[in-house]
Amino acid sequence: MKENIVLEAVHLKKVYNYATPNAFEALHDINFQVHEGEFVGIMGPSGSGKSTFINNISTIDECTEGKVLINGKNVRSMSANEIGRFRYQNLGFIFQDFNLLDTHTMYENISMPLALAHVSKAEIEKRVNHLADELQITSLLHKYPNECSGGQRQRGAICRALINNPHIIVADEPTGNLDSVNSSELLQLLQKMNRENGVTIVMVTHDPLIASFTTRLVYIKDGNIETVLDKGDMNQDEYFNQIVELNSRESREILAK
Smallest distance from other proteins to CB 249, Å = 35
Residue count at the site for other proteins (CB under 8 A)?
36
Q: Which of 10, 15, 78, 112 binds other proteins (CB under 8 A)?
A: 112
Which residue in 104, 113, 213 sits closest to 159, CA to CA? 113
CB 161 within 8 A of CB 93: yes
Burial grade of 207 (CB within 10 A; 0-12, 13-18, 19 or more)? middle
Nearer to other proteins, 23 or 101 (CB): 101
Length of the chain (residues): 257
Site for other proteins in 29-88 (CB under 8 A): 60, 80-81, 84-88
CB of 252 to other proteins, least distance (A): 32
Is the Cβ of residue 168 or residue 246 nearer to other proteins in the bound state? 168
Considering only 2-10, 117-125, 186-194, 217-225, which stretch makes contact with other proteins by CB under 8 A?
Answer: 117-125
For residue 87, CA distances in Å to 53, 82, 117, 167, 223 come to 17, 9, 10, 10, 25
CA distance 53 to 224: 10
Q: How far is the CB of 42 from other proteins (least distance, A)?
A: 17
Could you tell me which stretch among 96-104, 202-210, 216-224, 236-244 binds other proteins (CB under 8 A)? Answer: 96-104
Instruction: Point out which span in 12-20, 94-102, 200-208, 216-224 binds other proteins (CB under 8 A).
Output: 94-102
Give the residue among 187, 100, 89, 197 at the shortest CA–CA distance from 141.
100
Cα separation of 228 and 243, whole Å?
Answer: 10
Residue closer to other proteins by CB (options 29, 108) is 108
- Fill in the per-residue mask, 147 to 176: x = in contact with other proteins (CB under 8 A), - = not in contact: x------------x----------------
User: In this structure, are strands 39-43 and 200-204 parallel, antiparallel, or unpaired?
Assistant: parallel
Nearer to other proteins, 190 or 229 (CB): 190
Residues 120-149 that bind other proteins (CB under 8 A): 120-121, 124-125, 143-144, 146-147
Give the separation between CA 131 and CA 203, rounded to whole angstroms: 21
Contacts of 66 (CB under 8 A, 6+ apart): 9, 10, 11, 12, 13, 29, 30
Contact between residue 39 and residue 201 where contact means Cβ atoms under 8 Å apart:
yes
Q: Which residues bind other proteins (CB under 8 A)?
A: 60, 80-81, 84-89, 91, 93, 97, 99-101, 103-105, 108, 111-116, 118-121, 124-125, 143-144, 146-147, 160
